[in-house]
Amino acid sequence: MSDHAGDVRDRPEQWEVVASRIIHEDDWILTFREDTVVRPGHPEQPLARLVLDHPGAVAVLAIDDQERVRCLRQYRHSSGMKLIELPAGLCDGGPGEEPLETAKRELREEAQLRAADWRHLFTTWPTPGFTNEVHWFYLARGLSHWDRGDFDMHGEEAELEHFWVPVEELIDAIFAGRVGDGPVVQAVLAYDALKRRGRL
C-alpha cells in the first residue's frame, strides 16, 4: 500500500442498491430511507445503510470593509442552543436555482444585505456517513443594504438577532469554545487561511 494517495481528490462512486424503502417522508424537505447495498464483487454481503435525503444548503461569509462578519444568533431546537451563525439556508428555491443564487437570496432574506463581489470558497459533505447533504460556502464582499421585500420571517427566523463581529474576534471566540456552529468555524478559518496564503 502506498503512503501517498496520488491524485488528492474525492472520486464519485456508487455501489449497487439492491433494495430501498422509505422510512419517513413528509411535506418538508427531508426523506429518510434505508438502502440495501452490495460491495463491489461481494453480492453475498448485503449492507443496510440509512440515508437522509437533503437538498443541500449554502452559507455566506459576508465581510464588510472593516473586516467584520455579519452574524446571526438563532435558536436551534435540536441542539438546545441559540447559536451564532452565518446567513445560510436550504437549496429549496425550486428547480434550476444554482447554489450562488440561493446564497444571494439568503443574504437578502436573513441579513438584508446584497454583495457586489461573490467568491465560492469551498464545498463540503458535512455528515457523509448518513446524509447526501452538501454545503456550498461563499464569500460576499462589497456589501450594501437590501430590503428583504415580502419575505415572511416566521418561526425561529422571527427571533433572529443581527450583528457584526470583527474577523479576529470571531476566530478568538472559536478557539475559546464560545462559538461552535460548524459552518461558522469552517468559513472563518478558511478565510483566515486563504488570507495568510495570499489567496484573497
> Helix/strand/coil (H, E, C) string of the chain?
CCCCCCCCCCCCCCCEEEEEEEEEECCCCCEEEEEEEEECCEEEEEEEEEEEECCCEEEEEEECCCCEEEEEEEEECCCCEEEEECCEEECCCCCCCCHHHHHHHHHHHHHCEEEEEEEEEEEECCCCCCECCCEEEEEEEEEEECCCCCCCCCHHHHHCEEEEEEHHHHHHHHHCCCCCCHHHHHHHHHHHHHHHCCCC
Q: Which residues have CB under 8 Å from 193's CB, separation 6+?
A: none
Determine if the pTM surpasses 0.85. yes
Give the per-residue pLDDT at 70: 98
Question: Cell match 428583504: residue?
Answer: 148
Q: Which residues have CB under 8 Å from 4's CB, separation 6+?
A: none
Is 109 catalytic? The answer is: no
| pLDDT tens track, the chain, 200 positions | 567 767 899 999 999 999 999 999 988 778 999 999 999 999 999 999 999 999 999 999 999 999 999 999 999 999 999 999 999 999 987 777 899 999 999 999 999 999 999 999 999 999 999 999 999 999 999 999 998 877 777 788 878 899 999 999 999 999 999 999 999 999 999 999 999 999 99
Q: Which residues have CB under 8 Å from 148's CB, separation 6+?
A: 108, 109, 110, 112
Closest by Cα among 62, 85, 60, 90 to 75? 85
Looking at the DSSP bridge assignments, the partners of residue 136 are 58, 123
Distance CA 196, CA 200 (A): 9
Give the per-residue pLDDT at 5: 66
Contact 69, 61 (CB under 8 A): yes
Closest by Cα among 123, 83, 94, 122 to 200? 122
Cell, residue 189: 478559518
Which one of 13, 156, 157, 161 is the catalytic residue? Answer: 157
pLDDT digits (tens, 9 = 90+) for 39-49: 999 999 999 99
Contact 19, 35 (CB under 8 A): yes
